[in-house]
Structure 1
């Protein structure tokens, strides 16, 4: 990482706080939130675009040469850096629109193709989950340890499901049918970054998705946090590089292969 990697990490965390403050303010307002529709089940609001601008402004003011890949603004190439900040300014826009209190600010940093920093901030709970490669995972100022692996029959698993012509419903239903009899519960709360990061807290025991089409910015920060918390994160073929994925499975190392065997027959 950069010699100033700690400065970059702290700047990314500050950017997430600032964007989160905007989302918290917007969530508290009365009335429906105005939005535009980008595609099937894909919405954008003032808060998505403004939060992304806040993040870019905050980071670029300290690191002017860094590249950005934002859900709303696309790719802003670097002038002289192999570092890219990957931004989902409001992961869970549909929840935000419906006043469901489950959404997050998600920011990752790559060096070349390697994920090195992940920050996921839940502004309503003021919970910041973050990690840097090789340094462990944290909740706010507390370092996290890997939760014990639960038996399959006690596991609570999270997923993203396809809706309204967005993704492959048939594969998602086949995988649900295979997994439902083996675990204690399956949830689809609607913020993939947050749910992957929640593995580090033991709030979920695993996360998988294939039918839903998740973009890199949906998962990048959560991957860093889950891995640094001791979880195994691959796609359903076992490929470790997320740039090559069209599916995702994150689980405790003692359960990853069991889940993979259950799900990959339908991948």
Structure 2
């Protein structure tokens, strides 16, 4: 009997749950996590590698034509197809290693040059945020939309900050200084995939990053979710194509332009 086929988004969700189970096991192995340095303050764990391998194997079984861009395994070109799966198996590695319960599995799909699918899974909460281009954004089985636009002084905004040699501290400090006295709060939780997706969910009113270095796998899935929830997602120059970005701004359409003006490099 031929097994039932699954849609791409179902496959990505299955892959995220499989990886998430590995991460839950690792997180609860308190004091028993071995890790090695991979550059300044950039750690790779057994769980990063195992989770990424599990994701790739799950996707390959259902979509053997897919190529991959993975944080740990690098790039594997698609075989005769246009489908590329973009993976961050553990977004928030430092949180994970320090037992801060805020990290995620982030998986996106790109067809040609267009991001089409996004899954961001928080394994400790069993919370699946997901979206398909043109079909809306969801939290588990329920549809989500961005919160109504709040006045600037009521906004809670998330960001990433650079550390050690990764990024531009001066730019981040300058932008923080411009915003701190004008908004209700700024948060740096430590998993960009979650923070971008949470802007779509309404937990944050916006997310931005410029000084910190973010790679495509950090934000690709969150971009799909935030856009499908109704947020405007560009870089700080207003460019829509993530391949050209060195900054990121996610916000309600009514506040996006105002925040761009405040944060623009001077």
TM bucket (normalised to shorter chain) is over 0.9
- 1:47 is matched with which residue? 47
Distance 2:84 2:166 in 1: 27
- 1:82 is matched with which residue? 82
- 1:72 is matched with which residue? 72
- 1:116 is matched with which residue? 116
Superposed, 1:67-216 pairs within 5 Å as 67-216=67-216
Q: Which digits, 9 at most, give the CA deviation of each residue in 1:152-175, with x for residues without a partner?
A: 101110000001111100000000
Contact 2:41 2:164 in 1 (8 A): yes
* 1:161 counterpart SS class: coil
The Cα shift of 1:201 comes to: 1.9
The Cα shift of 1:32 comes to: 4.5
Where structure 2 has 5 or more consecutive residues not aligned to the other structure, the ranges are: none
TM-score by length of 1: 0.96
The Cα shift of 1:6 comes to: 6.4
The Cα shift of 1:189 comes to: 0.6
CA RMSD of aligned residues (A): 1.3
Where structure 1 has 5 or more consecutive residues not aligned to the other structure, the ranges are: none
Q: 1:264 to 1:32 in 2, by over 3 A?
A: farther
Distance 2:145 2:49 in 1: 35
Moved more, 202-211 or 26-35: 26-35
How many residue pairs match? The answer is 263
Contact 1:118 1:221 in 2 (8 A): yes
Distance 2:183 2:115 in 1: 30
Q: Which digits, 9 at most, give the CA deviation of each residue in 1:105-142, with x for residues without a partner?
A: 00000011100000000000010000000000000000
TM-score by length of 2: 0.97
Distance 1:37 1:256 in 2: 38
The Cα shift of 1:40 comes to: 2.0
Distance 1:137 1:64 in 2: 26
Runs (4 or more) in structure 1 with deviation over 4 Å come to: none
Distance 1:140 1:119 in 2: 10
Contact 2:153 2:183 in 1 (8 A): yes
Moved more, 23-32 or 149-158: 23-32
